[in-house]
Amino acid sequence: MVKKTPRKNSTDEMTKRLSFVKWFATLLFFCVVVHLAYIQFVDGEELKRKAYNNQNLNQLISPNRGTIYDAKGEVLAQSIAVDTVSLNPGMLVYSNNKDVPNNVVAEGLSNIFNVTYEEMIEKLESGKSVVIVEKKVDKEKVDKLKKWMADNKITAGINVDEDSKRFYPYNNLASNLIGFCGTENTGRTGLEERWNRVLTGTAGKVVTTVDLHKNPISDEDEQYIASEDGSNIYLTIDVLIQSTAEKYLEQAMQENPTAKSGTCIIMNPQNGDIYAMASNPTYNLNSPSSYEATGYTEDEWKALPAEERSASLLNLWKNKAVSGTYEPGSTFKLITAAVGLEEGLVTTDKAGDFYCSGSYVVDPDEKPISCWRPVPHESQTLRDALQNSCNPAFMQLGQRIGASTLYKYFDAFGLFDEVGSDISKAYEGTFYDLSDMGPVELATTSFGQRFEVSPLQLISAISAICNEGVYVEPRIVNKVENTDTGSIEIIDTKDVRQVISKETADKVKDMMQSVVVKGTGRQAAVEGYSIGGKSGTSEPIAANIEEGYVASFIAASPIENTQVVVLFMLEGLSKDAEHQGGTVAGPYVSKILGEVLPYLGVASTSNTKEDSKDEDKLVSIPNVKDKSLQEATSLLQNLGFKVIAKEVDDTNTALVYDQVPKYGTSLEEGSVIYLYTSEDEARNMVKVPNIKGMTAKEATNALKAQNLNINIDGTVGVVITQDPIFDTEVEAGSVIDVVIKKELVDAH
């Protein structure tokens, strides 16, 4: 009999299996719930953001940056339309929805934009959803891109977004004042940086629902947030006056090659308006990082360490009229004189009030402090001392005033303030602490040395004297225009305080006129206008002798109802070269005022003819173009001119193609005229000789020896300026403009 093994109950086994499945399903469900909860509460916001970004395309709408205008509406800085080109590396497709290979994109775009093939490959393989190819792209490149995309049938993944680029129509004009913008249209220097909040608008955006390839799905869900454009600003700067200042500053730098830099400010003392603020060297605002204005060659620039290149550019961009400081020298004697008069410690014309023996002892334990001139000025009035720019006289006046009283007025004249902080980074004047003002410090301060102020601080202080004693805050922006509403905000003139009385101010201005008529400022005179001024020459301390001298001149005109104040200065002049303010800076101030005053409509008040040229001796050159060479030569010779022309076969048939000088120019008899009979005829070129310091006769003979003509302003004295400057190559027959004035012996 066979014994059978009992079978398990199939029902029990099924029950166990079902229980296991239920348990596993419950566990799986629990895990899913936990994961969903984690997604919901931990990763929810991030996933929501990613989903939104995948489904929505945010396009920023760049606002237009405000325009900068001069006082008469000339555009100085504006934004022009450009584009930004970007890529979505994972979404580059052909028209048949096939992916575009990276090498095709890299090769095509590297041929159009300022990026290499290798750089493009790196961008495409970066793993980023969006990469920038190039910003500030002009229309020509965008057109090339669109043609390339069309030729290659690329339909998605390359974006062209509207953008703007800052453009400066006048290139170098007022570059240190205006400043420039960075790549994001944000001001980096100058007014662009200081007024960035006003000039920069608020960006807008468009939010659109898109598909996988970033193509819009529907316009119904599109959200549009408009951008707000920046405001326009109108400056007090006048392009023509600014150009005049820069022209003569550049000429001064060329004629004084040891100078390292120069500054010129032209200001209206009555309302603080700055008509011009010029610096030299300048740079091109449309290419501010170029090496070309730094003084280095391209190879030298490339060899410089990065930090040195950066330092060189920062120095080039600096607005030294506001951000630079210097020792004002004898121009500061006007401040000391004003304080002494206001305090009743001196009068303008008391005989024997001061004495100069060539030096002055202010401290028995220290060496005597010398006057700038070794020959003593001896007995003087205050007017004499200012005309002579006598240091000992002002040391004596400083002792009468005392340090604490001087400092009280310095504060009132704005010399302890950050003047021009709305223009550029401004500095307070650097003075001795009052507690450190010993006899020597008081003496040097009284005649303008061993402390520093900015050029804008000084001209603002002197303008207070020229404005009946009222200090007015300098103004560079006179109105702001809201481009959305058209509303105008006027930036009002700010009369800060009465520093000295009108009576004192009139006395100082009267002495300033004496300086120009009889003293060290004679070369700043302008025929037909009353000019007052003061020369200045400051020397470096022994420890910094390489910094060189500063030659400056400050002038005001007219003396009654003064409308213009000019400060002109050159820094870094060598001791071995001409470096005195009266002879270096004075002549350029004369030229500037000679052009600016008539331009502003200031009426001429003088009837003197002493320094005027005799118009009766001048002959106007007729137009001989298209006449036969024979006829033209005969006509010009009959008028007393010397004619030079290339020999031709027949003077009766050869016609005059051009003449030098041009017709209408007025010259003295005996002047030379060159005639040319062909456009291709080689021009006769000569170098202009150096005639500074020559008499009118000597200068005329020197120029005639080079077959050059002369146009003389003045008859008494010597040549103080010439234009073009010496060593300039010009066409033979060209006219050299010279200014002749009485030679200065004292020109400190």
Q: What's the pLDDT tens digit per position in 419-453?
A: 999 999 998 889 999 999 999 999 999 999 999 99
Q: Reduced to 3 DSSP states, what percent helix, strand and coil does the chain have, rounded to the nearest 5?
A: 35, 25, 40
The mean per-residue pLDDT over the stretch 236-245 comes to 97
What are the Cα distances from residue 435, in Å, to 361, 395, 441, 452, 564?
A: 21, 19, 11, 18, 37
Q: CA–CA separation, 443 vs 88, rounded Å?
A: 71
Q: Is residue 689 within 8 Å of 736, Cβ to Cβ?
A: no
- In terms of phi and psi (left: phi > 0; alpha: psi -120 to 50; beta: otherwise), the region of 626 is left
pLDDT at 259 over 50: yes
Contacts 24+ apart (CB under 8 A), 185-188: 185/62, 185/65, 185/79
Looking up tokens 């290419």 gives 287
Pick the range with the lowest mean pLDDT from 200-204, 345-349, 483-487, 550-554: 200-204
Geometric angle at alpha carbon 248, from 246 and 253, rounded to 5°: 95
pLDDT-derived band at 609 (thresholds 50, 70, 90) equals very low
Q: Report which DSSP code applies to 93.
A: E
Tell me the whole-structure pTM to 2 decimals.
0.79
The mean per-residue pLDDT over the stretch 692-697 comes to 91
Q: How high is the pLDDT of residue 95?
A: 81
Q: Is residue 520 within 8 Å of 551, Cβ to Cβ?
A: no
Which residues are CB-neighbours of 164 under 8 A, at least 6 positions away?
62, 64, 65, 79, 80, 81, 82, 185
Q: Name which of 726, 715, 732, 716 is nearest 692 in CA terms.
A: 726
- One-letter amino acid at 186 equals T
Q: CA–CA separation, 264 vs 271, rounded Å?
A: 19
Looking up tokens 């000992």 gives 392
Q: How high is the pLDDT of residue 714?
A: 81
The mean per-residue pLDDT over the stretch 568-588 comes to 94
What are the Cα distances from residue 202, in Å, to 183, 229, 481?
A: 17, 7, 16
Q: CA–CA separation, 186 vs 235, rounded Å?
A: 19
Pick the range with the lowest mean pLDDT from 390-399, 505-514, 738-747: 738-747
Q: Report which DSSP code applies to 187.
A: B
Q: Is 380 helix (H, G, I), strand (E, B) or coil?
A: strand
Percent of the chain having pLDDT more than 70? 88
Q: Is 73 helix (H, G, I), strand (E, B) or coil?
A: coil
Q: Name which of 166, 147, 249 is nearest 721 in CA terms.
A: 249
pLDDT-derived band at 477 (thresholds 50, 70, 90) equals very high
Structure token pair of residue 667 = 């010259």
pLDDT at 180 over 90: yes
**Can you list the domains of the chain with their CATH numbers?**
58-235 (3.90.1310.10), 329-481+488-599 (3.40.710.10), 615-741 (3.30.10.20)
- One-letter amino acid at 34 equals V
pLDDT at 17 over 80: no
Q: Is residue 465 within 8 Å of 505, Cβ to Cβ?
A: yes
Which residues are CB-neighbours of 728 under 8 A, at least 6 positions away?
687, 688
The mean per-residue pLDDT over the stretch 372-380 comes to 92
Q: CA–CA separation, 615 vs 596, rounded Å?
A: 23
**pLDDT tens by residue, 201-228:** 887 665 555 555 555 555 555 566 777 8
The runs of H, that is alpha helices, within 526-628 are 581-584, 586-599
Which residues are CB-neighbours of 465 under 8 A, at least 6 positions away?
334, 338, 500, 505, 508, 509
E-strand spans in 385-436? none
Q: Is 223 helix (H, G, I), strand (E, B) or coil?
A: strand
Q: Is residue 458 within 8 Å of 331, Cβ to Cβ?
A: yes
**pLDDT tens by residue, 96-140:** 888 888 888 888 888 988 888 888 888 888 888 888 888 878 888
Q: CA–CA separation, 554 vs 464, rounded Å?
A: 13
Mean pLDDT of the chain: 88
